[in-house]
Structure 1
Amino acid sequence: MSDLSRVHFRTKNNIAFVSLNRPEKHNGLDEQLFRELIGTAKRIRKDKSIRAVVLSGEGESFCAGLDFKALQKNPMMVPKLFLKLPWTSANNFQRVAYIWKTLPVPVICAVHGNCFGGGLQIALGADYRIATPDSKWSIMEVKWGLIPDMSATTTLTTLTRYDIAMELTMTGRVFSGEEGYQYGLVSNISDTPLADAEALAEVISQKSPDQVAATKLLFRKTWKAGPRLALLWERWIQTRLLGRKNQSIAMKNGLAGKDKPAKPFADRSLF
């Protein structure tokens, strides 16, 4: 565990485990939790030995969204987090969710209990979401007369249909993890999402970290892009992979016909 009071962080077998740690508030987002989540993601980006991330919440919920009581006590929280520096593409409201999408390792989110508002947008920023069937989800910003502004416009569009996104955003209704699976917002349903997330992370951690990072970058850059741009990215990324140390190791392991690598991969060197 780290000494961060709002986020628990540990690594095991090249997997980073990140858990929101305000269980008494259903992991409601206050300014400190925003900053610690972003700081943890930056720490993961710099650690080239990490192969995958498991993101979860302590206590009864994954994340119940913005903590409005904390906001009332700290009215400067919104302007501080909403302000965008000129040389950045996102403010901290957006970054806390979208930063997981930009990491060079896959992020697998385990969801239970409430997943509302900002919590839902953080979950959508992950690459894969495993949820309990009875978990509760809501794009809840309409309750406050607001739109979702923590990068949902970049994630909803790749996961679900236009009409579903419109209806969920305009009504703010609560839907189950089972319904979220039907909508494309949940990747898989499980009674043990955290254990399943770890199992998937372990499988991915046995693959070439350069290939995994390249795959994530390729799909982020080309998903729903036209063929000219997509094919350009394919060629450029493949050129970067060819002949590198981890690609050579993958070739040797593949020729040996082993599911688990006979020779361990080196730390990530790309992206």
Structure 2
Amino acid sequence: MSEPFLREERRGAVTLLTMDGPEDRNALSSAGQCSEFVDACRRINADREVKAVILTGRDPAFCSGGNIKHMRSLEGFMAGPVEDVAEGYRATLQQMARALHGLEVPLIAAVNGPAIGAGLDIACMCDIRIASDSARFAEAFVRLGLISGIGGAWFLPRAVGASRAAELSFTARVFDADEALKYGLVSEVLPADELMPRAISLAEEIAQHPATALRFCKRLLRMAEMADLGSTLDATAALQAVAHQTHEHHAAVERFLQARSR
């Protein structure tokens, strides 16, 4: 039995997911890899004790995108006639994209190295992105005569804006972590040895808050990407009414008042 691609480690209320295929720079090359993401997201969503997730790659890369050798030999996602390839994308990579985007808890990308093609798109599926100063990025698909099959045309503009996403998609150029910070793609750039400690610290800072409120907050942020203000406000009222009734809310209010009275 082959080793898992996605390593999962629990640290209290934080789950660490590590793409572990360093020999291929964590490239995506099989339906099994996509299933591992889908299964992990399903487990996390069902576990009310998980409050934050970190996604990273085993050095030397975050994720180098698709497997170029498979592209040349037309195997894996690229195998078969046109209709089979389209259905293959829908059943594998796109299910992975739906699962990551649908994760109910805050998701932090700790971009430790190159995030190229689908690797960049995966980073864009996360809520927060921080990067090592050795990270490199590219929406590299047109260079290979392709487009993003995992949803980059939807995710990238939401991360960097429409004009910048168009430039990066049309040029397919590689850009570094400092440029990513300037574009708003990442919120912090750190030395390589400080990346994971910072990611863990950030996740733990998030995880100190009530689980229900975190999940509701993320749900509303996701809805706001697509819904108008009226629909967002309606959903906010409904979720807030539920939040007001939770034990977590009552306990948090008591802690706040007790701390203020000292």
Q: What is the TM-score normalised by the length of structure 1? A: 0.86
Question: Is the 2:34–2:95 Cα contact (8 Å) retained in structure 1?
Answer: no
Cα shift readout 1:41-92 (whole Å, capped 9, x = no counterpart): 222122221111011101211010011224556725346774279xxxx643
Q: Which moved more, 1:53-62 or 1:71-80?
A: 71-80
Matched with 2:235 is 233
User: In terms of mean alpha carbon deviation, does 37-46 or 194-203 score higher?
Assistant: 37-46
Q: CA deviation at 1:226?
A: 2.6
1:71, 1:34 → 2: CA distance?
17
2:95 & 2:206 partners in 1: Cα distance? 25
Counterpart residue number, 1:16:
15
Q: Which amino acid aligns with 1:119?
A: G
Which segments of structure 1 move beyond 6 Å, counting only runs of 4 or more? Answer: none
- After superposition, residues 165-184 of structure 1 pair within 5 angstroms as 165-184=165-184
User: 1:65-120 CA deviation, whole Å, 9 max, x = no partner?
Assistant: 011224556725346774279xxxx6432232342221111011101221000111
Gaps of 5+ in 1: 259-271
Distance, in Å, in 1 between the alignment partners of 2:13 and 2:68 is 36
C-alpha distance in structure 2 between counterparts of 1:39 and 1:71, whole Å: 26
CA contact (8 A) 1:4 1:36 kept: no
**1:248-259 maps to which residues of 2 (within 5 A)?**
248-257=250-259
Cα distance in 1 for partners of 2:253, 2:242 equals 16
Distance, in Å, in 2 between the alignment partners of 1:148 and 1:207 is 36
SS in 2 for 1:182: helix
**1-side partners of 2:12 and 2:68: how far apart?**
38
SS in 1 for 2:180: helix
Give 1:101's aligned amino acid.
Answer: H
Cα 1:167–1:228 shift into 2, 3 Å: same
Equivalent in the alignment of 1:92: 92
- For 1:42 and 1:4, the matched residues in 2 are separated by 20
- Point out where structure 2 has 5 or more consecutive residues left out of the alignment: none
1:153 maps to a residue whose letter is A
In structure 1, what is the equivalent of residue 208 of structure 2? Answer: 206
1:149 correspondence with 2:149: yes
2:59–2:112 contact (8 Å) kept in structure 1: no
